[in-house]
Structure formats: C-alpha cells, structure tokens
Amino acid sequence: MKLPKISFKLPKVKIYGIDVIKNFLFFTFFIIISLLILAFVISPAINSFKKAKKSYYQTKYALDITTKEYKEKMLELKKLKNTNRKILNALKRDFNKQNFKLFASKYMSISSIKEINSTVYKKDFIKTTYILIAKIKSPKNFYDLIDGLKNYKTLLRIYFPIDFIKNKENIDLTLKLEHYKLKAAQNADVKAH
C-alpha cells in the first residue's frame, strides 16, 4: 500500500507585492531565535552579573564595617596620643647631664653624674643607668626633686635604695637614676604618625 502524499501549500496573500504570510513566519522565526539566544547566551551572563553584584555588596558591607572600625580606632589613637603627648615626647628625648644639673640646682648641688650602662628594656626602650652624687640641705629637698621630676622633659626614674650620709651642715646623697627612651626604629615610627 502506498501512502498518499500530503502536500502543504501556504496560501499566498500579497499586499503591495509583499507576501504577508511568509513575512509573518520569518518574523516569528526571528523572535524564536532571538529568545533562544537570550536564554542560552545572555542569561548566564546575567546570572554571573547577579552573583558578582551580590559579592560586591557583601564586600562593600564588610569594607564599610572595617572602615568604621578603623576610623573609631584612629580617633581613639589620636585621643591617646593627645592625652599622652608629654610622655611620648619625653620618650623621644636624650638625657642631657648639663640640663639636668640646671633643673636639679633648685633642690641640690650635683657634683657628678656618671653613666653606668645602657640596656634594652622590654624590647622597645633603651634604659640608661646613671650614678648621681650630690649634696642636699635636707631630705625635703630630695622629695621635692622627686615631685619635680614628673614635670621634667625626659622620662627619669630614681632607683632605690638611696644613700643619705650626714656631713656637717649638708647631706651627701648617692643615688641611681634611670633614663628611658624609645629605640631608634620605634622613635622614627612614632614621628611618622
């Protein structure tokens, strides 16, 4: 048995010489191809854009939080630097024997200041030890010197025990004096900020 031939013929509708049905089919075919291109080519790009956008906003959020924390820490650091400016400046200065003798002349008569040694103290500081020999009129002068040291321009510490020896009208005084200073690398770092 033979199958009958089925032929499908499109009707021809022409307006001003243009076949309307063929044009409609080509237009429909063009729309379908365009949608397929959108689905298979542009859609993955849109998905990757959405992922990148989400990642961007997560990163931006983390950056904003970190920036806020950084600004808060910088404000706190500036407040601490302003509060402790006197101590920071004192840690940058070298000990000047003549200047100290002039400062201490209100309290005592210094006959000698001798450097004993210089060592690193807690990794960041240099501690220099001096032996000071002086004469004072009364122990009150010594305690006035200790009170006055908090206003001196370098960071000094008087190390106990202190030798007081009565000598006629005066008291001979021998004590250990320690000067603290930032190490050179730290000092340069502090100046940079």
pTM of the model: 0.53
Instruction: Name the residue ranges covered by the structural domains of the chain.
Output: 1-83, 93-192
Q: Are 156 and 125 in contact (CB under 8 A)?
A: no
The Cα–Cα gap between 117 and 131 comes to 10
Report whether 21 contacts 12 (CB < 8 A).
yes
CATH architecture for segment(s) 93-192? 2-Layer Sandwich (3.30)
Q: What is the mean pLDDT of residues 123-141?
A: 82
Average pLDDT over residues 149-162: 79
CB-CB neighbours of 193 under 10 Å: 8
Average pLDDT, integer, range 156-172: 80
Q: What is the pLDDT of residue 8?
A: 65
